[in-house]
Amino acid sequence: MMLAAVIKPTVEKNPEIGNALKMIKKLNSVVILTAISLATVVSHAQYYGAHDNRGYASDTFEGFEEVDKGRMPQKNSSWWYWLSADTAAAQLEYCRQREKEGKLNSARKGYEALVREWPTTVEAAQAQLNLAHVLEKMKRYAKAFDEYQYALIHYSGHCPYDEIIERQYRIANLLLHENKSMFGWMLSGTDEIRERFELIVRNAPRSSIAPEAMLKIGRIRDDADKLEEAIKVYDGILNRYPASPQAETAAWLSARCRHTLAVKYKYNENLCRESIAFLQAALKRLPGHPKRVDLERWLAELTDLQVEQNYAKAVFYDTRRYKSEIKINAYRRFLADFADSKYAPAVRERIRQLESGEPAQKE
């Protein structure tokens, strides 16, 4: 009120100031509306980010391909595809009729032409979706998958999101199945198929499909003998979807990979120790695991391997090259960790000999 009492007389004496204040008021209104609009966009993005698609740049998945192939440039006009109508609506109807008549290739080209010529129309969004459907009918599954991805990227607000994710998942499974012989052997490389499953997870990391898709990604890595990458994917399931049914399977698969690597690189003590820690945690976290016997067996094998590694390390110092004090310390470190091992009695006897100055007895 005090501010108004000061401003009013000033405005009456100086109309220019009054006009300036009116302009500022209008600008403030625009700023407020713009802020509200931005807040709406942000909240919309956050909502869908939290429930469906967290976006490409903001989310990383261990064990996935680093390069995100989900980004696709917008289509441009091309003389390869020609129009059969003067408007987007008429072109869409023409293509639908061709599709209804079973002329799928003609419909495909027509839908493609519409998307390229009128990309910002409502009809273009429907044409893009129909294009993917037609390619799926033609059993051109890889291309259909890509066109569904294009719809998600460029027409995200005008396409059935959940339906597309489900269709992409079904197509990826078909491609994986068709790539196997009757004996289950892979007929060709699986990198492209794996990347499609990765794209599905990136598209919908919070969907019910994501844990199963990640399990397939891990298995593909596993089958390709890329065990380190497979472990990252399996662990990703445990970290992201611990309550999912796939987590139980992922724990077993991750443990199996770790056991295989630890045995293969049996002189890598750190790898063996980390694998043992994982197995212990898995047994504690999943006491009723249906394959608990495997986990316990692998734990026992790696524990024995760890004993062998540390005993060999202790014996390494028991040569003329090292002083008795160093030898004794090496054996005592072994006993501190493996007091109940099969080597413990012999190690205690050797420590006694070193401390008393007796020569080692030959076996």
Q: What is the pLDDT of residues 45-54, one digit of tens each?
A: 332 233 333 3
- What is the rounded average pLDDT of the residues 117-132? 97
Rounded alpha-carbon distances, angstroms, from residue 347 to 127, 356, 357? 78, 14, 15
pLDDT at residue 116 greater than cutoff 70: yes
Residues 306 and 358 in one domain: no
Under a CB-based contact definition with an 8 Å cutoff, are residues 258 and 231 in contact?
yes
Residues 119 and 212 in one domain: no
- What is the rounded average pLDDT of the residues 74-98? 94
Residue 72 has what pLDDT? Answer: 83
Residues 132 and 87 in one domain: yes
Quote the CA–CA distance of 235 and 63 in Å, as a whole number: 9
Report if residue 71 sits inside a domain: yes
Rounded alpha-carbon distances, angstroms, from residue 81 to 42, 76, 115, 185, 271? 37, 11, 10, 40, 57
Tell which residue, 206, 233, 215, 133, has the closest CA to residue 176: 215
Quote the CA–CA distance of 212 and 210 in Å, as a whole number: 6
> Which residue, of 180, 200, 235, is where some domain finishes?
180
pTM passes above 0.85: no
Report if residue 148 sits inside a domain: yes
Residue 358 has what pLDDT? Answer: 75
What's the CATH number where 223 sits? Answer: 1.25.40.10
Report if residue 59 sits inside a domain: no
- What is the rounded average pLDDT of the residues 85-99? 97
- What is the rounded average pLDDT of the residues 325-351? 94
Report if residue 321 sits inside a domain: yes
Residues 173 and 255 in one domain: no
Tell which residue, 336, 327, 341, 258, has the closest CA to residue 294: 258
pLDDT in tens, 198-215: 999 999 999 999 999 999
Q: Which amino acid is at 163?
A: E
Report if residue 1 sits inside a domain: no
Residue 186 CB-density burial (10 A; 0-12 exposed, 13-18 middle, 19+ buried): middle
Report if residue 188 sits inside a domain: no
Residues 327 and 244 in one domain: no
Residues 134 and 229 in one domain: no
Average pLDDT over the chain reads: 84
pLDDT at residue 69 greater than cutoff 90: no
| Angle at the Cα of 354 from the Cα atoms of 352 and 360, rounded to 5 degrees | 95
The count of structural domains within the chain is: 3
- What is the rounded average pLDDT of the residues 248-271? 97
Residues 147 and 219 in one domain: no
Residues 75 and 155 in one domain: yes
Higher pLDDT, 307 or 362: 307
Domain containing residue 332: 317-363
Confidence label for 295 from pLDDT (cuts 50, 70 and 90): very high
Quote the CA–CA distance of 283 and 135 in Å, as a whole number: 47
Residue 362 has what pLDDT? Answer: 53
Helix, strand, coil fractions of the chain, as percent rounded to 5: 70, 0, 30
Rounded alpha-carbon distances, angstroms, from residue 62 to 224, 228, 232? 17, 10, 5
- What is the rounded average pLDDT of the residues 226-240? 97
Instruction: Average the pLDDT over each of 27-41, 238-252, 310-324 and give the range with the smallest value.
Output: 27-41
Residue 56 has what pLDDT? Answer: 37
Under a CB-based contact definition with an 8 Å cutoff, are residues 220 and 189 in contact?
no
Report if residue 135 sits inside a domain: yes
Residues 247 and 305 in one domain: yes
Residues 154 and 227 in one domain: no
Residues 307 and 360 in one domain: no
Residue 226 has what pLDDT? Answer: 96
Could you write out the three-class secondary structure of the chain?
CHHHHHHHHHHHHCHHHHHHHHHHHHHHHHHHHHHHHHHHHHHHHHHHHHHCCCCCCCCCCCCCCCCCCCCCCCCCCCCCCCCCCCCHHHHHHHHHHHHHCCCHHHHHHHHHHHHHHCCCCHHHHHHHHHHHHHHHHCCCHHHHHHHHHHHHHHCHHHCCHHHHHHHHHHHHHHHHHHCECCCCCECCCCHHHHHHHHHHHHHCCCCCCHHHHHHHHHHHHHHCCCHHHHHHHHHHHHHHCCCCHHHHHHHHHHHHHHHHHHHHCCCCHHHHHHHHHHHHHHHHHCCCCCCHHHHHHHHHHHHHHHHHHHHHHHHHCCCCCCCHHHHHHHHHHHHHHCCCCCCHHHHHHHHHHHHHCCCCCCC
Residues 255 and 308 in one domain: yes
Residue 52 has what pLDDT? Answer: 35
Report if residue 96 sits inside a domain: yes
Confidence label for 18 from pLDDT (cuts 50, 70 and 90): low
